[in-house]
Amino acid sequence: MDNPLYRENQDSELEETNGNNTIESMTMFDRVFKKESFWTKYRSFLCAVGGLLVGCFITIGFCYLFFNLGKKQNDGNVQSSFGASKQDENRISRVIEDMNKTKEDLMVIHDMRKELINYLTDIKNTSLNELLILETSFDATIQLLNDIRQKSEQELSNMIETRKQMSELNTQLRNRSNAAHKSMIESRNQMSEFRTEMRNMNSNETRIIQQWRNESQIQYQEFRRKSQKDLKSFQKMRYDILKVLAATDMCVRNETFNMTEPTQPTEINYTLRDCLAWKQNGSLTDGVYSISPDDTTTLDVYCDMTTDGGGWVVFQRRFDGSENFFRGWQAYEDGFGDINGEFWIGNKYLHILTEVPTELRIDLMDWDNQKRYAKYSTFVIGDAESKYTLSVNRFSGDAGDGLNYHHGLKFSTFDQDNTQRRTTCAARNKGAWWYKACSHSSLNGEYLKTNGIADQNMGINWEKFKGDHYSLKSTSMMLRRKT
| Residue 458 CB neighbour total at 10 angstroms | 21
Burial class (CB in 10 A: 0-12, 13-18, 19+), 270: exposed
Which has the closest alpha carbon to 308: 354, 223, 398, 375?
A: 375
Give dist(CA 197, CA 191) in Å, integer. Answer: 10
| Residue 473 CB neighbour total at 10 angstroms | 21
Q: What is the pLDDT of residue 90?
A: 79
SS3 labels along the chain: CCCHHHHHHHHHHHHHHHHHHHHHHCCHHHHHHCCCCHHHHCHHHHHHHHHHHHHHHHHHHHHHHHHHHHHHHHHCCCCCHHHHHHHHHHHHHHHHHHHHHHHHHHHHHHHHHHHHHHHHHHHHHHHHHHHHHHHHHHHHHHHHHHHHHHHHHHHHHHHHHHHHHHHHHHHHHHHHHHHHHHHHHHHHHHHHHHHHHHHHHHHHHHHHHHHHHHHHHHHHHHHHHHHHHHHHHHHHHHHHHHHHHHHHHHHHHCCCCCCCCCCCCCCCCCCECCHHHHHHCCCCCCEEEEECCCCCCCEEEEEECCHHHCCEEEEEEECCCCCCCCCCHHHHHHCEECCCCCEECCHHHHHHHCCCCEEEEEEEECCCCCEEEEEEEEEEECCHHHCCCEEEEEEEECCCCCCHHHCCCCCEECCECCCCCCCCHHHHHCCCECCCCCCCEECCCCCCCCCCECCCCCCCEEHHHHCCCECCCEEEEEEEECC
Q: From first to last of the 483 residues of the chain, give the pLDDT tens digit.
A: 444 434 444 444 444 444 444 444 444 444 444 444 555 556 666 677 777 777 777 777 777 676 666 555 555 554 555 566 677 777 788 888 888 888 887 888 888 888 888 888 888 888 888 888 888 888 888 888 888 888 888 888 888 888 888 888 888 888 887 888 888 888 788 887 877 777 777 667 777 776 776 676 667 666 766 765 666 566 567 656 765 665 665 554 444 333 333 333 333 345 789 999 999 988 889 999 999 998 788 899 999 999 999 999 999 999 999 999 999 999 999 999 999 999 999 999 999 999 999 999 999 999 999 999 999 999 999 999 999 999 999 999 999 999 999 999 999 999 999 987 777 889 988 999 999 888 899 999 999 999 999 988 889 999 999 998 999 999 999 999 998
